[in-house]
C-alpha cells in the first residue's frame, strides 16, 4: 500500500478528463512517492528521467531470459543506445514511464504510450525477478492509470503472452473491467481506467490478501 495518497485530481475529476493543464517535457514531481511492499520494505516510485539510461540498462541486464521474453516477445539481452534514449526520454503526457527504486537500483518499470490522436494508450510493465510478487506491478498500473486519466486518456490496452500469468493477475486484480481476447498464444486486453471507489476497494482488498 502506498504511504502517500493518490492525486486528488484523479479521484475528484468528474466526466471526461482533460490534458490541457499538463505541459509536455515538464518533469511531474507530484508523481514521486514512497511505497510499502507486501514484505514491509519501503521503495521509491518516480517518473523516469533522461539520465536513467545507465540504470535502465543495468536493470535490463539483471532480468532473467524468461522476464525479457515475456516483455519483448523475443530474446533481447541488451538495449541499444537508440532504445535507451527512446525509453528514458518521455514527454510525461502522451508517453509516461514510472520506475521503482530499491536504493540506487531500478527494480520495476511501467509505462504507457498514447495512440496518436486518441484517448487510448498501450500499457506495459516489467518487474525484476527478485522483486516479483511484492505488489509492484499493481502499484505501477494503478499509478499509471491515475496519471493517464488526468492527461486525457480513458482506456488502456496491452498485449501479453498467454504464459505471462503474473501480468494477467495484475490486470485481474486491478479493479478495472478488463476484457481480453486470445489468439496464437497471445492475449490482448483492454479496459477503461476511470477511477472509481469500487476499483480502488478491489485493489485494497487484494493487497490485504482478501481476494
Query: What digits encode the pLDDT tens for the residues 18-57?
Result: 556 799 999 999 999 999 998 999 999 999 999 999 999 9
Map out the domains of the chain as residue ranges.
24-207
How high is the pLDDT of residue 19? 54
Using one digit for the tens of pLDDT, what is the confidence trace for 65-107?
A: 999 888 877 778 899 999 999 999 999 999 999 999 999 999 9
Phi, psi of 112 (to 5 degrees): -130, 150
Question: What is the assigned CATH class of domain 24-207?
Answer: alpha beta
Please give the share of the chain, as a percent, with pLDDT higher than 70.
Answer: 89
Give the Cα-Cα-Cα angle 21, 26, 31 (nearest 5 degrees). Answer: 80
Using one digit for the tens of pLDDT, what is the confidence trace for 184-203?
A: 889 999 999 998 888 888 88
Phi, psi of 97 (to 5 degrees): -130, 135
Average pLDDT for residues 110-127, to the nearest whole number?
97
C-alpha cell at 106: 531500478
Average pLDDT for residues 1-7, to the nearest whole number?
42
Amino acid at each position: 500500500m502506498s504511504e502517500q495518497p493518490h492525486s486528488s485530481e484523479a479521484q475528484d475529476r468528474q466526466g471526461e478528463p482533460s490534458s490541457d493543464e499538463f505541459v509536455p517535457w515538464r518533469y511531474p514531481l507530484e508523481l514521486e512517492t514512497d511505497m510499502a511492499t507486501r514484505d514491509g520494505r519501503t521503495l521509491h516510485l518516480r517518473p523516469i528521467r533522461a539520465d536513467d539510461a545507465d540504470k535502465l540498462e543495468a536493470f535490463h541486464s539483471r532480468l532473467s531470459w524468461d522476464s525479457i521474453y515475456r516483455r519483448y516477445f523475443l530474446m533481447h539481452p541488451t538495449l541499444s543506445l537508440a532504445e535507451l534514449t527512446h525509453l528514458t526520454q518521455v514527454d510525461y503526457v502522451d508517453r509516461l514511464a514510472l520506475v521503482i527504486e530499491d536504493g540506487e537500483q531500478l527494480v520495476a518499470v511501467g509505462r504507457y504510450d498514447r495512440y496518436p490522436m486518441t484517448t487510448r494508450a498501450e500499457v506495459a510493465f516489467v518487474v525484476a525477478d527478485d522483486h516479483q510478487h511484492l505488489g509492484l506491478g499493481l502499484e505501477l498500473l494503478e499509478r499509471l492509470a491515475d496519471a493517464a486519466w488526468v492527461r486525457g486518456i480513458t482506456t488502456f490496452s496491452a498485449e501479453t503472452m498467454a504464459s505471462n500469468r503474473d501480468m494477467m493477475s495484475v490486470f485481474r486484480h486491478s479493479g478495472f473491467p478488463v476484457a481480453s481476447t486470445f489468439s496464437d498464444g497471445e492475449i490482448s486486453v483492454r479496459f477503461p481506467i476511470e477511477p472509481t471507489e469500487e476499483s480502488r476497494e478491489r485493489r485494497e482488498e487484494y493487497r490485504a490478501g482478501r481476494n
